[in-house]
């Protein structure tokens, strides 16, 4: 492996971590909107669906 490949691999990994943290932060912010109870089952389902969609999007981005 040459240095360019190693640098690209590290940058790709760091960017994936940053993107994942950003998506998770966005989901958490959506959950904190006014008028929503943290124990609300609909909210829990929404969060679960958003995380599943984000996971699928991340997998599709790898191709």
Residue where the block lists tokens 């599709």: 60
Q: Domain for residue 31, yes or no?
A: no
Q: Domain for residue 20, yes or no?
A: no
Phi, psi of 56, rounded to the nearest 5 degrees:
-65, -40
Give per-residue pLDDT as tens, 1-47: 799 999 999 998 898 888 878 877 877 777 676 666 666 777 778 77
Residues 47, 25 contacting (CB under 8 angstroms): no
Q: Residue 39: what pLDDT?
A: 67
Q: Domain for residue 30, yes or no?
A: no
CA dihedral of 42, 28, 14, 58, whole degrees rounded to 10: 20
Q: Residue 35: what pLDDT?
A: 62
Tally of domains in the chain = 1
Q: Domain for residue 55, yes or no?
A: yes
Residues 13, 58 contacting (CB under 8 angstroms): no
Q: What is the pTM of this model?
A: 0.55
Residues 19, 58 contacting (CB under 8 angstroms): yes
């Amino acid at each position: 492996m040459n240095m360019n490949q190693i640098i690209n691999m590290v940058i790709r990994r760091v960017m994936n971590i940053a993107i994942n943290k950003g998506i998770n932060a966005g989901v958490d912010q959506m959950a904190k909107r006014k008028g929503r109870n943290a124990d609300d089952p609909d909210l829990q389902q929404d969060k679960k669906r958003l995380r599943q969609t984000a996971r699928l999007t991340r997998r599709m981005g790898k191709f």
